[in-house]
Amino acid sequence: MTENAISCELHDFVEVVCMYGYRLKLFLKDGQVIEGKAIDIINSAEKRECLIIDNDGKQQIELIRLARMEVLTPNAKFREVIFD
């Protein structure tokens, strides 16, 4: 695995939140906190994997920037994922 990728296990959690359209609170490694609905995973023009969330407009977050992901949707398959 390179420094530009997350583990397959962590990637699976990101895929699940997109599949179910869960509402999330994302805690980034730089201390930033972002809330929104998970939409999709894409590859950016720079070939980096990004999570697309909708928080009154679409926003791209590089997966390698994630420190923690908290699921806000009730009765979700899981509540929290730690990335570091």
> Which is higher by pLDDT, 44 or 63?
63
What's the pLDDT at 1? 45
- Topology classification of domain 8-82: SH3 type barrels. (2.30.30)
Q: Average pLDDT, stretch 11-37?
A: 97
Rounded distance, CA 53 to CA 55, Å? 6
In the chain, where are the structural domains located? 8-82
What's the pLDDT at 3? 64
What's the pLDDT at 47? 86
Say what percent of the chain tops pLDDT 90. Answer: 85
Provide the 3-class DSSP secondary structure of residue 71. strand
- The identity of residue 33, as a single letter, is V
Average pLDDT, the chain: 93
Predicted TM-score (pTM) of this structure? 0.91
Quickly count: other Cβ atoms within 10 Å of residue 29's Cβ. Answer: 13
